[in-house]
Amino acid sequence: MLLIAVLVLPFAQIANAAITNAYDTMSRQGLSDGTPQVLSDHAIQFRTSLGVTSGQTIVITFPADFDGSSATGDTSGPLDFSDVDLLEDTSPDNVCDGAIDETLVASGATASQWNAVFSGTVNRILTLTSGGASAIIGAASEVCIKIGENATGGAANSQYENPSTSGEKVITVVAGSETSQNITVNILTDDQVAVSSTVAQTITFSLGATTLALGTLSSTAAVTGSHTFTVATNAASMVVTVAGTTLTSDANTITACASGCTTVPTTEQFGINLKDNTTPNVGAEVSGSAPLGVAATGYATVDNFRFVTGETIASATGGINASAFTVSYLTNISGATEAGSYTTTLTYTATATF
Query: Residue ranges of the domains in the chain?
Result: 18-187, 203-353
Where on the phi/psi map is residue 276: left (φ > 0), alpha (ψ -120 to 50), or beta?
A: beta
Architecture of domain 203-353: Sandwich (2.60)
| 18-187 and 203-353: identical CATH topology | yes
In the chain, what's the furthest Cα-to-Cα distance?
A: 127
Cβ atoms within 10 Å of 47's Cβ, excluding its own: 18
- pLDDT tens-digit profile of 56-97? 999 999 999 999 997 555 556 899 999 999 999 888 776 676
Q: Give 166: exposed, middle or buried? Use CB within 10 Å, 0-12, 13-18, 19+.
A: middle
Side chain identity at residue 8, one-letter code: V
Between CA 164 and CA 147 the distance in angstroms is: 19
Per-residue 3-state assignment (H helix, E strand, C coil) for 108-147: CCCCCEEEEEEECHHHCEEEEEECCCCCCECCCCEEEEEE
Instruction: Please state whether the peptide bond connecting residue 36 to the residue before it is cis, i.e. omega within 30 degrees of 0.
Output: yes
Tens of pLDDT along the chain (354 residues) come to 444 444 444 444 444 578 999 999 999 999 998 777 899 999 999 999 999 999 999 999 999 999 999 755 555 689 999 999 999 988 877 667 667 899 999 999 999 999 999 999 999 999 999 999 999 999 999 999 999 999 987 777 899 999 999 999 999 999 999 999 999 999 999 999 999 999 999 999 999 999 999 999 999 999 999 999 999 999 999 999 999 999 999 999 999 999 999 999 999 999 999 975 444 444 333 334 445 688 999 999 989 999 999 999 999 998 888 888 999 999 999 999 999 999 999 999 999 999
* Model confidence, pTM: 0.66
Between CA 42 and CA 67 the distance in angstroms is: 13
Q: Which of 72, 14, 23 is nearest to 46 (CA)?
A: 23
Tell me how far the alpha carbon of residue 289 is from its chain's centroid: 12
Q: Which CATH number is 18-187's, of 3.40.30, 1.10.8, 2.60.40, 1.10.390?
A: 2.60.40
